[in-house]
Amino acid sequence: MPLSKIIVKLYAVIIEVALWLVALVALVGGWQANGFIGAIGALIGATIFAAVLFGAFLVLEDIRTRVRAIEQRPNT
């Protein structure tokens, strides 16, 4: 497998891990600040932040996945 394909697959994993880390940090930080309500508020804020920050990359990943599925379809 060429190095470029490994990097592309790793990129998708890095985005997924980053999203989970943003959510986890938001929950912990919100809990430390204001308890349960703070954790929920921070999670909502982090979700909006992550959508803005990672949204374009996730759309590109989705397009890449769909194109791969189209390429693997049998031609009839």
Q: pTM value?
A: 0.76
Specify the long-range contacts of residues 29-35, CB closer than 8 Å, at least 24 apart. none
Give me the domain span that covers residue 74: 1-76
Give residue-wise pLDDT tens across range 21-63: 999 999 999 999 999 999 999 999 999 999 998 888 889 889 9
Looking at the structure of the chain, the number of domains it has is: 1
* DSSP symbols for 2-37: -HHHHHHHHHHHHHHHHHHHHHHHHHHHHHHHHHHH
